[in-house]
Amino acid sequence: MTKNDLIKEVQENLKAYSYKDVTYAVNIIFDSMIKAIKHGERIEIRGFGNFTIRERKPRLGRNPKSGAEVKLEKRKVPFFKTGKELREMVNKKR
């Protein structure tokens, strides 16, 4: 599902709102999540999962094209952990 697909789905379920209004609302939600993650805050959506920041240690990597060693600096990466309810729904046998 793309962001545009999500907007269309929400708009179909909330017919009282225009496509433009739903797009604006979805963008506000995503922008708020990005801002929170940038500030190192944890985002928890019950039943769905958690977004956190993990710190990766510096290490030696390899350039896949040339095979040359490349020094990778310490960095922060976003991490998503699924919630129990979402895992159960995904693994539920039909």
Per-residue pLDDT, averaged over 83-89, amounts to 93
pTM for the complete prediction? 0.77
What pLDDT is attached to residue 92?
A: 86
Closest to 52 measured CA to CA, from 43, 60, 61 = 43
pLDDT > 70? residue 74: yes
What pLDDT is attached to residue 60?
A: 95
The full set of domains in the chain, from first to last, is 3-91 (4.10.520.10)
> How confident is residue 93, by pLDDT bands cut at 50, 70 and 90?
low
Per-residue pLDDT, averaged over 37-45, amounts to 94
DSSP character string of 32-64: HHHHHHHTT--EEETTTEEEEEEEEPPEEEE-T
What pLDDT is attached to residue 55?
A: 95
Q: What is the DSSP letter of 66?
A: T
